[in-house]
Amino acid sequence: MDHPSLIDELRAFVAERDWSQFHDPKNLAMLLASEAGELLAEYRWVRNEAADSMSREPEARQRVADEIGDVGIALMLLCDRTGIDLQTAMRDKLAKNRRRYPVEHAKGRATRPVV
Amino acid sequence: MDHPSLIDELRAFVAERDWSQFHDPKNLAMLLASEAGELLAEYRWVRNEAADSMSREPEARQRVADEIGDVGIALMLLCDRTGIDLQTAMRDKLAKNRRRYPVEHAKGRATRPVV
Amino acid sequence: MDHPSLIDELRAFVAERDWSQFHDPKNLAMLLASEAGELLAEYRWVRNEAADSMSREPEARQRVADEIGDVGIALMLLCDRTGIDLQTAMRDKLAKNRRRYPVEHAKGRATRPVV
Amino acid sequence: MDHPSLIDELRAFVAERDWSQFHDPKNLAMLLASEAGELLAEYRWVRNEAADSMSREPEARQRVADEIGDVGIALMLLCDRTGIDLQTAMRDKLAKNRRRYPVEHAKGRATRPVV
């Protein structure tokens, strides 16, 4: 690989600024939620039926991509700090979701939040 | 690779339940933010200095991993729907953050939110 | 008035459980955001045009009212802890928003987030 | 009363800008959550033990008050749109929380989120 991995770049970014002192899991969960709030803000006045096309307009797309980048960075920092592997966490949760929402009951029906 | 990729599993999970009708980018941004809120809830009564050790206790760790899994799934669904590549978005945003927070000014100082 | 004010009831609720130790402004901001995330979850699969009618269906309405109640409680606890008067904060912010979004420019146009 | 009530001012602010078209309950729940995310951002790098004193520093206090104002405005808009009375919702939820967390079990113990 001819360039450093993203996690290595991210660790260097944090280390150079001496920011790991702020990055305990509580604060990183707050970072993640506040970045998710900024992403949310991009879509708050767009109607459902316009959300796909809005996501293709160059300026809006760039803003959305920036917020997605911030959310991804926060999530990666939290996984790195806690030692939780993101891919494993996603696979395990997907398996739980399969059991929680059996196809025969869930098909075509929005689920209300269940924790 | 002897098992399907995570994104393929996720697409199959959604397709079997006929849920793509609900998954426009607006709704997925809401899913992401609400899952980030659940992750946040795990840490809301834990003090900063206890957040690392709490994240290692088996039961709490499992709950945190589950919420991280949900956030990751929501983020992946949003990237898949919009066609935004997560790795690229993260790299691009990291580059912007490097310029926004030069080492000499940012070192050891928490930054206040800057949108 | 023959019953205690809401803030007095809330303070008693917290004091009886010895919970003020957890209620510094940081943790209360987390409580508020996580409750806002639960409210959000109620609407995440509802389309814009169905959101008003959904809010009138008895069961959904009760869930929404419960989440609004939780958000209001968290906001009141934060104001009480910091000594920030909610009515004053709202009036001051409304005055700022009037200047930020002059009628002639804002009329009929959704504003994108501006901090 | 020699000045209009806050809710009347808020309705006028929205009407002058022709913004009620954007203010269905779904979008207002998104507004509320994104404003709660901005409030959260103010506290994300502050340690628990410094959160009270930070909330008294004039500049930080003003930013927190502004975000509290935005959250309060979003909550009031949502209550106005849905016809849910905030005070009633808070009282009803407080009564439920009393039953959910009996004093004898809850005293001095942080509760984990229970939806």
Residue bearing the bigger pLDDT, D13 or D1 = D13
Residue found by looking up tokens 């008895």 in the block: C58
Alpha-carbon distances of B44 from A28, A94, D48, D63, rounded to whole Å: 12, 25, 11, 21
Name the token pair of B97.
């953050």
Give the pLDDT of residue C110. 86
The Cα A31–Cα A38 span in angstroms is 11
- Which pLDDT tens digit goes with each residue over B22-71? 999 999 999 999 999 999 999 999 999 999 999 999 999 999 999 999 99
The model scores a pTM over 0.90: yes
The per-residue pLDDT for range D4-40, each reduced to its tens digit, is 799 999 999 999 999 999 999 999 999 999 999 999 9
Percent of chain A whose pLDDT exceeds 70: 94
User: Is D38 close to B113, i.e. CB distance below 8 A?
Assistant: yes
- Chain B residues close to D42, C-beta within 8 Å: 112-113
* Cβ–Cβ below 8 Å for A48 and C47: yes
* pLDDT value for C115: 39
Query: pLDDT above 90 covers what percent of chain B?
Result: 86
Q: What percent of the residues of chain D are helix, what percent strand, and what percent coil, each to the nearest 5?
A: 75, 0, 25
Q: Which residues contact A114 (CB under 8 A, 6 or more apart)?
A: A100
Q: Look at A44 and D34 and tell me if their CB atoms are within 8 Å.
A: yes
Output b/e per residue, A104-114; b: 16+ Cβ within 10 A.
eebeeeeeebe
Nearest chain A Cα distance for residue C38, angstroms? 8
Radius of gyration for chain A, computed over Cα atoms and rounded to the nearest angstrom: 18
pLDDT at residue number D111? 77
Q: Which residue of A has its CA nearest to B107?
A: A17
Sign of CA dihedral D58, A14, C112, B68: negative
Residue-level pLDDT at D113: 61
Q: Return the pLDDT at D2.
A: 56
**Sign of the C-alpha dihedral computed for residues A88, A90, A95 and A99 taken in this order:** positive
Structure tokens at C111: 């504003």
Chain D CB contacts of B115 below 8 Å: none
Contact C33 B37 (CB under 8 A): yes
Q: From chain B, pick out residues whose CB is under 8 angstroms from the CB of A18.
A: 107-108
Q: Please tell me the predicted confidence (pLDDT) of residue B108.
A: 87
pLDDT for A3 equals 66
Rounded to the nearest angstrom, the gap between the alpha carbon of residue A45 and the centroid of all alpha carbons in its chain is: 21
Contacts of B34 in chain C (CB under 8 A): 37-38, 40-41, 44
Spans of chain C, pLDDT less than 50: 1, 115
Cα distances from B3 to residues A95, A101, A110, B9, C62, in angstroms, run: 14, 22, 28, 9, 44
Residues of chain A numbered 75-104 and touching chain D (CB < 8 Å): none
Got the DSSP string for A74-101? Answer: HHHHHHHHHT--HHHHHHHHHHHHHHHS
Quick one: pLDDT at residue C1?
46
- The pLDDT assigned to D67 comes to 98
* Nearby residues of D98 by Cβ (< 8 Å), 6 or more positions away: C13
Hunting for tokens 């009270």 — which residue is that?
Answer: D52
pLDDT tens per residue, range D68-101? 999 999 999 999 999 999 999 999 999 999 999 9
For residue B80, give the nearest of B33, B17, B24 by alpha carbon: B24
Q: Inform me whether the pLDDT recorded for D115 exceeds 80.
A: no
pLDDT band at B86 (very low <50, low <70, confident <90, very high): very high
* CA distance, residue C41 to nearest chain A CA (Å): 6
pLDDT value at residue B68 = 98
CB contact under 8 A, B40 and C30: yes
A3-18 core/surface letters (b: 16 or more CB in 10 A; e: else): eeebeebbbebbeebe
Mean pLDDT along residues A28-54: 98
pLDDT recorded at residue B115:
40
Spell out which residues of chain B touch residue C40, defining contact as CB-CB under 8 Å: 30, 33-34, 37
Which of D30, D40, D112 has the CB atom closest to B30's CB atom? D30
| Residues near D59 by beta carbon (within 8 Å), at least 6 away in sequence | none
ipTM topping 0.90: yes
Report the pLDDT value the prediction gives residue C2, as an integer from 0 to 100. 56
Checking if the pLDDT of B1 tops 80, the result is: no
pLDDT of residue C20: 95
pLDDT at D4: 77
Predicted local confidence at residue A2, as pLDDT: 56
What was the pLDDT predicted at B2?
A: 56
